[in-house]
A and B are shown apart, each in its own frame.
Chain A
Amino acid sequence: MSTRRSVEVEVRELHKRYGAVVAIESLNLRIGPGELVSLLGPSGCGKTTTLRAIAGLVQPDAGEVMVGRRVLNDVPVHRRGFGLVAQNYSLFPHMNVIENVTFGLRMRRLPRAEIARRAREALAMVQLTQIEDRYPSQLSGGQQQRVALARCLVVEPDVLLLDEPLGALDKKLREAMQVELRSLQRQIGITTIFVTHDQVEALTLSDRIAVMHQGRLQQVGTPQEIYESPRNRFVADFIGVCNFLDCRVAGRDQSTVLLRLDDHALLPAAIPPPASVPPEGTRVVVAVRPEKLIIEAQTAAPERALHARLENLVYVGTAVHYHLRTKTGARLVGYRQNNAALPPHLYPGAEVQISWEPDAARLLE
Chain B
Amino acid sequence: MTAWMRRNGAALLLRLYCGAVLLFLSLPIIVAVGVAFGADRIARFPPAGFSLRWFAAALTEQTFVGALYTSLQLAALTTLGSLLLGLPAAVALGRRAFPGRAGLETLLLSPLTMPGVLFGISMLFFLGASGLGLTWWGLLAAHVVIATPYLLRTTLAVYRGLDPGLEEAALVLGASPLQAFRHVTLPLLRPGLAAGGLFAFLTSFDNVPVSIFLTTAHNNTLPVTIMSYLVNQDFDATVGAISAIQVAIVLVLLYLLDRIYGVARLTSPGG
Contact = CB atoms under 8 A, between A and B. Distances in A.
B168 interface: yes
Interface of A: 55-57, 76-84, 86, 88, 90, 92-94, 103-104, 107-108, 137, 151-152, 155, 161
Contacts of A104: 173-175
Interface stretch (B5-13, B32-40, B177-185): B177-185
B187 A94 contact: yes
Contacts of A86: 165, 168-169
Interface string B239-266: 0000000000000000000000000000
B271 A107 contact: no
Interface in B148-168: 163, 165-166, 168
Given A88-B165, A103-B183, A93 B269 contact: yes
A107 B184 CA distance: 11
B175 A107 contact: yes
Contacts of B270: 93-94, 137
The 10 closest A-B pairs by CB, nearest first: A93-B270, A104-B173, A90-B165, A90-B169, A77-B171, A107-B175, A84-B172, A78-B171, A104-B174, A94-B187
Nearest to B171: A77
Nearest to A80: B172
Contacts of A78: 171-177, 180
18 contacts: A55-B172, A56-B172, A77-B171, A78-B171, A78-B175, A79-B174, A84-B172, A86-B168, A88-B163, A90-B166, A92-B169, A103-B170, A103-B175, A104-B175, A107-B179, A137-B270, A151-B173, A152-B172
Interface of B: 163, 165-166, 168-177, 179-180, 183-184, 187-188, 269-271
Nearest to B163: A90
B61 to A, nearest CB: 47
A218 B175 CA distance: 36
B169 A84 contact: yes
Contact of B172 (A82, A92, A108, A137): A82
A80 B176 CA distance: 11
Given A84-B168, A107-B183, 20 more contacts: A76-B177, A77-B168, A77-B172, A78-B171, A78-B176, A79-B174, A81-B174, A84-B172, A90-B166, A90-B168, A92-B166, A94-B188, A94-B270, A103-B173, A103-B175, A107-B174, A107-B176, A108-B174, A151-B173, A152-B172
Nearest to B190: A94
A81 B171 CA distance: 10
Contacts of A103: 170, 173, 175, 183
A152 B173 contact: yes
A77 to B, nearest CB: 4
A83 B172 contact: yes
A88 B165 CA distance: 9
Nearest to A83: B172
B99 to A, nearest CB: 15
Nearest to B170: A103
Contacts of A92: 166, 169-170, 184
Nearest to A93: B270
B235 to A, nearest CB: 50
Nearest to B166: A90
A112 B173 CA distance: 18
B173 A107 contact: yes
